[in-house]
Amino acid sequence: MMKLGKISPLAFSRMKQRGISIDALNDLLAHGQIEKQFDGAQVVYLDSPVPGPTWSGRPAPRLYAVVDAAGEVLTVEKRVRLRG
């Protein structure tokens, strides 16, 4: 479980562009899965829940953030993963 620290200007700009709120970022950091990188950075990601009736065939979004070794959020992204 990570806590929100400093957010880089790039990450903040990307959040605004992609409609990602501070609450969503907090939730991501608190509940996301962490992949550690060789340089000390971490990729924190949160897959969407299992598709329900409202999803019916639509691609599932995936939210992730890149956090450096010092704990600063470098960027935040919302990707769509197509199910094949």
Q: Tell whether 54 is covered by a domain.
A: no
Which pLDDT belongs to residue 26?
87
Q: How high is the pLDDT of residue 10?
A: 92
> Rounded distance, CA 24 to CA 38, Å?
26
Instruction: Please spell the DSSP secondary structure of 6-37, one letter per residue.
Output: -B-HHHHHHHHHHT--HHHHHHHHHH-EEEE-
Q: How confident is the model over 41-70, as pLDDT tens digits?
A: 898 887 655 555 554 555 555 788 899 988
Q: In this structure, is residue 68 part of a structural domain?
A: yes
Residue 1 lies in a domain: no
Is residue 2 situated within a structural domain? no
Q: Which domain holds residue 74?
A: 9-49+59-81
The domain total for the chain is 1
